[in-house]
Chains A and B, each alone.
Chain A
Amino acid sequence: MNEFVFQVSDSIDHIIRSIPLFKVEFALSFGFLSSIVCTLIFDKYWKHSSFFVTILSIICAFLILMTQHDQSNFGFYNMLIVDKTSFFARAFISIGLLISAIFLQQHFANKEFKKRKGDLYSILLAAGIGLNLFSMTTHWLMAFIAIEMVSICSYIMVGYFSENKKQAEAAMKYALFGSACSAVMLYGLSLIYGFTGDLNFASPKHIQGLIAAPEVMVSIAILFVFTGIGFKLSFVPFHLWAPDVYEGAPTPVTAFLSTVPKIAAIVLLSRLASAWISTPFYFSELTFMFISFVSIVTMLAGNLIALRQTDIKRMMAYSSIGHTGFLMMAIIAYSNGQQNILFFYVLVYTLMNFASFAFIDVLEQKLGSTQLSSYTGLGKKMPIIFTCFSIIGISLIGLPPTAGFIGKLFVFSSIFEIYQYGGDQIFLWLLIVGALTSVISLFYYFKIPLFAFLRNNKEENIENINPALSPMLVIGVILTILVVLIGIFPSGVFGVISN
């Protein structure tokens, strides 16, 4: 009993020492609670109060995060890690949350609902907490809690304002698919815990346990675990939910779902890959082969299916699946020590994706449709939107002079470097498929300028569209300018990421 008493004080000391690591999430949690209070009480007096509390808490969290720059620390018994990776991941997540919050506010500003709109902001913040934890851990338990936290928030966001059957169906599909994947992942985790007796996947004990475990069981356990991560990242074959959900969800929610959770999931997978791939044993090879193979298949499937889409949101869903495949190539680079390349690509992807959804939302509010054919002949009427949208498309393909090109060049470079010294054929296939899918993606991204500029509208009934200056449009244009600037002068941004 006495021993236990000593441990208690030690533990408390440890926990108290760890608390500063958690201050960013504290800020978000405080924001979460106050935004609920605002929704319940103050929104009656000032309808924007919950929105401003949300924005304020995200900015506070971001500023507090800046103090953790250059910090490298573990806390809560290695449950949380503060390092370069989690710093950048949380920085990008904060930017994503901020933009998402503004999108949500703008999108629902002119709509009337029986439900309280403010609830959405508190859910967004809760998702933010989950995402931060997601990117700060190498502990399976923490990772699972984080995944669940993000997933539940996402289900609510997708289904909260469902106006018709299709949206309700999307929410339902998402929840069912998500729960099934979590269950499978949990089962895999329990197997892995059984083999290793340690839930920290970067710990030596964990890796020794995996080395000693029988090959068949390890394969099953690892594949089960990847199911859960695969659901969040939507790589093949766990991508099936993405198109329906992206199409059914309100556009700002789609923008959020296709970008921010991906950052966190990519970070977790990168941590996993760099912890596991380095050994010469069976499970390392399996992990590596799984990531490379899935990367190739995801790039091909995402881009090929995107060719046949007629709805821009559905098309962007497949495009984001294709980009997941490319991000997995960057994970292989990450596990070989090229961390800044992954950060750079993730940042660029975040900018591009938010920009494209900003334009999609502005257009959706004007035209009431997300069909590509509804853009027919609008290039002359809304030149700014469609010029910027085309530039973002060019960046998503990976053509110069845009940031997408620099990102692709870096990823190709890092993979080529590994190929040059390793000589494994799989790297060559990664390069070839990566290049080939860029060509394929040209077809569908160029549908935007094709409809907007090349086709002429027969009916002239859209005269009344006057391109008003909305904050969404401004954000989209700023992001586009950033994408071009980073494309021409990548040194500055890359310098920040490298240091």
Chain B
Amino acid sequence: MGALSLLIFLPMIAVIGILLLPNRMGHSFKYLALLATVLQFGLAGYLYINFNGSAGAFSEVSTYQYVEQLPWIRLDLGSLGKLEVDYFLGVDGFSLPLLLLSAFVMLMAVGASWNIEKSKKGYFALLMLLNTAVMGIFCALDFFLFYVFYEVMLLPLYFLIGIWGGARREYAAIKFFIYTLFGSVFMLLVIVGLYFSVQNPNTGAHTFNMLYMMNPENYVPGSFFDFLGNANEIFGIPARMIGFIVLFVAFAIKIPIVPLHTWLPDAHVEAPTPVSIILAGILLKIGGYGVIRICLGIFPDAAADANWWLGLIGVVSIIYGALNALAQTDLKRLIAYSSVSHMGFVLLGISSLTAEGISGAMFQMLSHGFLSAALFFLVGVVYDRVHDRYIYNFRGLASIMPKYTAYVAIAFFASLGLPGFSAFIGEAFVIIGTFNAESMNTGIPRWMAIFGSLGILLSAAYFLWTLQRMFFGTTRLKGGEEWVKELKDVNIREQIILFPTLALALLLGIMPSLVFGVLNNSVLSLLDLVTPYL
């Protein structure tokens, strides 16, 4: 069993342990989950340190590290050829930072679930199952395996939102599920199409291997998704463009883009704090990762044609998300919309198809990963105490919760892109990449960069305005004296979670090379794949 398998299945061991232990040992569940995530984080960190990104083709196995490949399903389907599914794992500069991020955010989520009282057994078992699925998604290099993990991820989330959520949890849970499933069933059809179009050059069998799908030479001439000279059309759109669009929509729902974002505010508002942390910190990144690894990797030609639209969608998401955030009166909803806005930068950066832009997008994903997790955690702190998060119900919190206010202020400033924090690096690189795109002839005009920077301005507006409304001025709370008693300052456990997160934001803001070093070669090899089609 390799390191990546261990990373994926460590939480499964915790699941089995939790399920086997009797209910009366309820306190031990959280320690079991914590142990699994700590080990996982350590392992992911170890892998991260020992990673040496070699420059190589994006579609070569040698570019990936910690590779594990085992035959999983081998079927002879007669005229449909031999079905080949591998248990195929490997990481490169794109997936490894996200793995580390996932392990970190999972650790935060377990910390945030410390006081869960309602059916702990189910809760921690589902949380660890989710953990397994998420790790699997980032490691899988076989499309079938990827899809299995992708769908398995939905089930625990449905129950986590649906059982432990707020008042409208049923609605939010099913809405989230339906949105994602809608994208993914059509993704399944494209996977089937790719399966018939791609052959393993060694065995001649059709395959789900993603790396083979990225190499034009492996396509069967005349097949449906054939690379060159493909005249297949569906409803008048070229087949490869359809494939790209379907996959893009599936992942764009996760990112989420405007107008497919409406599940996000509902899911966030109804979800319990730890699930919000996971949603914002990890799940949205699966969308961005999918676009990079799968849409760009397998359909580089279509991506090169469609990137103007991708950029436009990114800009619209940035502006629309920010304007919506300005209008919110529920703190959690505000942060949910700020996520939409910040993830718009990721899409804009990817669409620029420049090294700066894509690196910036990845950096933005990482930075948004732990910053939004911190923001949702901070919302949870207030909500846990008074079960209210309506912005106008609070005023002057600074005088009764000084430490909390300090953390909120740092998180807000970090998120709005203050230089010195990680979000600044991400957003700046995205803007630089987009701005340079015109001179690189990738088809992204400069005005998109300008509108993107407008988004940074707007995020400063809503964050600072919120800070002013809730924390400054004389103390006036809706709940009066009772709330003042309830609103105790952050305790040790909360500080243990918050401090490393914000320190990380600062560290990466000062030393972005910690990420860029790992990332760089992969970005370049991805660009090698895409640029010939520009």
**Interface residues, chain A, with chain B CB atoms under 8 Å away:** 336-338, 340-341, 380, 394, 399-401, 405, 409-410, 412-414, 416-417, 419-420, 428, 431-432, 435-436, 438-439, 442-443, 446, 449-450, 453-455, 489-491, 494-495, 498
Which residues on A sit within 8 Å (CB–CB) of B169?
454
Contact B162–A450 (Cβ < 8 Å): yes
Known contacts A416-B196, A420-B224, A454-B163; A338/B79 CB under 8 A: yes
Which one of A400, A414, A490 lies within 8 Å of B75 (CB-CB)?
A490
A-B pairs, top 9 by smallest CB distance, nearest first, are A400-B148, A435-B185, A454-B162, A420-B224, A416-B192, A400-B151, A412-B192, A399-B151, A439-B182
SS class, residues of chain A in contact with chain B:
helix
Min CB gap A299→B, angstroms? 13
Residue ID in chain A nearest B169 by CB atoms: A454
Residue ID in chain A nearest B164 by CB atoms: A454
Contact A446–B74 (Cβ < 8 Å): no
Q: Is B401 interfacial (CB-CB < 8 Å)? A: no
Q: How far is the CA of A428 from the CA of B236 in the complex (A)?
A: 13
Known contacts A417-B196, A439-B178; A409/B80 CB under 8 A: no
Which residues on A sit within 8 Å (CB–CB) of B186?
435
Q: How far is the CA of A435 from the CA of B223 in the complex (A)?
A: 22
Known contacts A435-B189, A439-B182; A417/B79 CB under 8 A: yes
Interface positions, chain B 44-84, Cβ under 8 Å from A, are 73-80
Q: How far is the CA of A341 from the CA of B78 in the complex (A)?
A: 10
Which residues on A sit within 8 Å (CB–CB) of B20?
none
Q: Is B195 interfacial (CB-CB < 8 Å)? A: yes
Interface string of B168-193 (1 = CB under 8 A from A): 01100110011001100110110011
Contact B173–A454 (Cβ < 8 Å): yes
Q: How far is the CA of A420 from the CA of B189 in the complex (A)?
A: 12
Which residues on B sit within 8 Å (CB–CB) of A489?
73
Contact A453–B162 (Cβ < 8 Å): yes
Contact A490–B73 (Cβ < 8 Å): yes
Q: Is B308 interfacial (CB-CB < 8 Å)? A: no
Q: Would you list 17 pairs from A and B whose C-beta atoms are within 8 A, ordered by A residue?
A: A341-B77, A380-B119, A399-B181, A400-B147, A400-B148, A400-B151, A409-B188, A410-B77, A412-B188, A417-B80, A436-B185, A439-B181, A449-B159, A450-B174, A453-B163, A489-B73, A498-B75
Known contacts A401-B148, A491-B75; A442/B178 CB under 8 A: yes
Q: Is B234 interfacial (CB-CB < 8 Å)? A: yes
Q: Is B116 interfacial (CB-CB < 8 Å)? A: no
Contact A414–B80 (Cβ < 8 Å): yes
Contact A420–B174 (Cβ < 8 Å): no
Residue ID in chain B nearest A498 by CB atoms: B76
Which residues on B sit within 8 Å (CB–CB) of A494?
75
Residue ID in chain A nearest B173 by CB atoms: A454
Interface string of B88-109 (1 = CB under 8 A from A): 0000000000000000000000
Which one of B78, B79, B174, B224 lies within 8 Å of A446 (CB-CB)?
B174
Known contacts A400-B151, A439-B185; A413/B79 CB under 8 A: no
Q: Is B514 interfacial (CB-CB < 8 Å)? A: no
Residue ID in chain A nearest B233 by CB atoms: A423
Which residues on A sit within 8 Å (CB–CB) of B163?
453-454
Which residues on B sit within 8 Å (CB–CB) of A435?
185-186, 188-189
Min CB gap A333→B, angstroms? 9
Contact B75–A420 (Cβ < 8 Å): no
Residue ID in chain A nearest B159 by CB atoms: A453
Which residues on A sit within 8 Å (CB–CB) of B189?
412, 416, 431-432, 435
Which residues on A sit within 8 Å (CB–CB) of B154?
399
Q: Is B152 interfacial (CB-CB < 8 Å)? A: yes
Q: How far is the CA of A233 from the CA of B349 in the complex (A)?
A: 53
Which one of B155, B162, B178 lies within 8 Å of A443 (CB-CB)?
B178
**Max chain A Cβ within 10 angstroms of own Cβ: one of B73, B159, B192, B234:** B192
Min CB gap A413→B, angstroms? 5
Min CB gap B461→A, angstroms? 38
Across chains A and B, the number of contacting residue pairs, with CB separation under 8 Å, is 98
Known contacts A394-B155, A435-B188, A453-B162; A491/B196 CB under 8 A: no
Contact B80–A338 (Cβ < 8 Å): yes
Min CB gap B373→A, angstroms? 25
Q: How far is the CA of A416 from the CA of B223 in the complex (A)?
A: 11
**Max chain A Cβ within 10 angstroms of own Cβ: one of B74, B75, B147, B170:** B75
Known contacts A417-B79, A446-B177, A454-B163; A491/B74 CB under 8 A: yes
Further pairs besides A341-B77, A399-B155: 17, Cβ < 8 Å: A336-B79, A338-B79, A400-B148, A412-B189, A412-B192, A413-B192, A413-B196, A416-B193, A420-B193, A428-B234, A439-B185, A446-B177, A454-B159, A489-B73, A490-B75, A498-B75, A498-B76
**Max chain A Cβ within 10 angstroms of own Cβ: one of B173, B185, B196, B234:** B185
Min CB gap B187→A, angstroms? 9
Known contacts A400-B148, A400-B151, A439-B181; A413/B77 CB under 8 A: yes
Which residues on A sit within 8 Å (CB–CB) of B192?
409, 412-413, 416
Contact A401–B152 (Cβ < 8 Å): yes
Q: How far is the CA of A437 from the CA of B78 in the complex (A)?
A: 28
Residue ID in chain B nearest A401 by CB atoms: B148
Residue ID in chain A nearest B79 by CB atoms: A337
Contact B177–A400 (Cβ < 8 Å): no
Min CB gap A450→B, angstroms? 6
Known contacts A438-B185, A454-B173, A490-B75; A413/B80 CB under 8 A: yes
Q: How far is the CA of A338 from the CA of B78 in the complex (A)?
A: 7
Which residues on A sit within 8 Å (CB–CB) of B79?
336-338, 417
Min CB gap A264→B, angstroms? 24
Residue ID in chain B nearest A449 by CB atoms: B159
Q: How far is the CA of A337 from the CA of B73 in the complex (A)?
A: 22
Which residues on B sit within 8 Å (CB–CB) of A336?
79
Min CB gap A62→B, angstroms? 26
Q: How far is the CA of A405 from the CA of B73 in the complex (A)?
A: 14
Interface positions, chain B 179-232, Cβ under 8 Å from A, are 181-182, 185-186, 188-189, 192-193, 195-196, 223-224
Which residues on B sit within 8 Å (CB–CB) of A446?
158, 174, 177
Min CB gap B155→A, angstroms? 7
Min CB gap B370→A, angstroms? 30
Min CB gap B70→A, angstroms? 13
Residue ID in chain B nearest A494 by CB atoms: B75
Interface string of B128-169 (1 = CB under 8 A from A): 000000000000000000011001101100110011000001
Which residues on B sit within 8 Å (CB–CB) of A405?
151
Which residues on A sit within 8 Å (CB–CB) of B148?
400-401
Which residues on B sit within 8 Å (CB–CB) of A442?
174, 177-178, 181
Min CB gap B191→A, angstroms? 8
Residue ID in chain B nearest A436 by CB atoms: B185
Q: How far is the CA of A85 from the CA of B192 in the complex (A)?
A: 26
Which residues on A sit within 8 Å (CB–CB) of B75?
490-491, 494-495, 498
Min CB gap A290→B, angstroms? 24
Q: How far is the CA of A454 from the CA of B163 in the complex (A)?
A: 5
Q: How far is the CA of A498 from the CA of B170 in the complex (A)?
A: 43
Q: How far is the CA of A490 from the CA of B75 in the complex (A)?
A: 8
Q: How far is the CA of A494 from the CA of B73 in the complex (A)?
A: 10
Residue ID in chain B nearest A341 by CB atoms: B77
Known contacts A399-B155, A420-B223; A450/B170 CB under 8 A: yes
Interface positions, chain B 397-424, Cβ under 8 Å from A, are none
Which residues on B sit within 8 Å (CB–CB) of A341?
77
Residue ID in chain A nearest B225 by CB atoms: A420
Min CB gap A403→B, angstroms? 13
Q: How far is the CA of A463 from the CA of B122 in the complex (A)?
A: 21
Known contacts A439-B185, A446-B174; A420/B78 CB under 8 A: no
Which residues on A sit within 8 Å (CB–CB) of B177?
442, 446
Which residues on A sit within 8 Å (CB–CB) of B170?
450, 454-455
Min CB gap B22→A, angstroms? 13
Min CB gap B233→A, angstroms? 10
